[in-house]
Structure 1
Amino acid sequence: MARKRYTVEFRFSPDSMTWLVRHAGKVLVRHIRKRDAVSDGARFARADPPSMLLVRRMDGSEQERRRYGRVRRK
């Protein structure tokens, strides 16, 4: 079973600068502060194991990966 991926990424639009928590191409929540987005992303990932939270910097580079739950290997 593969891990489900959740992502925290920054988006700039003409009307706002926001941090998005995404899963399967859908935006789950938007936040002004990155720490709030990471907290919500971790909550979603913990509730849906096995999963991974990928946190990105403002420039789009990878900051960290967090894994939740176990992946069973055969």
Structure 2
Amino acid sequence: MDRFLVQFRFSPDSLTWLVVRDGSVLSRHCRKRDAVRIAAGHARRHAPSTLVIERMDGTEQARRRYGRPVE
């Protein structure tokens, strides 16, 4: 099952929300809502999958599951 993350990162030049899959950054966004929208689209296309949305402090805010696991 694929796992997608929306994580906050501080870099010297900006505050960035990352969409991450298996440790690889898929995209960067200035606004969290844009990152969540893009990550949800990836998760839907790769169902069954899980989307974990984090707060700025790295704690889990929400977890969404897409599709059904194959039995």
TM value normalised by structure 2: 0.96
Q: Distance in 2 between matches of 1:17 and 1:36?
A: 14
Deviation, structure 1 residue 45: 0.2
Structure 1: runs of 5+ lacking an equivalent: none
2:41 to 16, 40, 43: 43
Runs of 4+ with >4 A deviation: none
State the aligned residue count. Answer: 71
Deviation, structure 1 residue 18: 0.4
Once superposed, what is the RMSD of the aligned Cα atoms?
0.7
1:15 counterpart = 2:13: yes
State the structure with more CA Rg.
1
TM value normalised by structure 1: 0.93
Query: Could you say which residue in structure 2 is the equivalent of 1:70?
Result: 68
Q: Distance in 2 between matches of 1:62 and 1:49?
A: 21
**Identity fraction in percent:** 59
Structure 2: runs of 5+ lacking an equivalent: none
Query: Could you say which residue in structure 1 is the equivalent of 2:22?
Result: 24
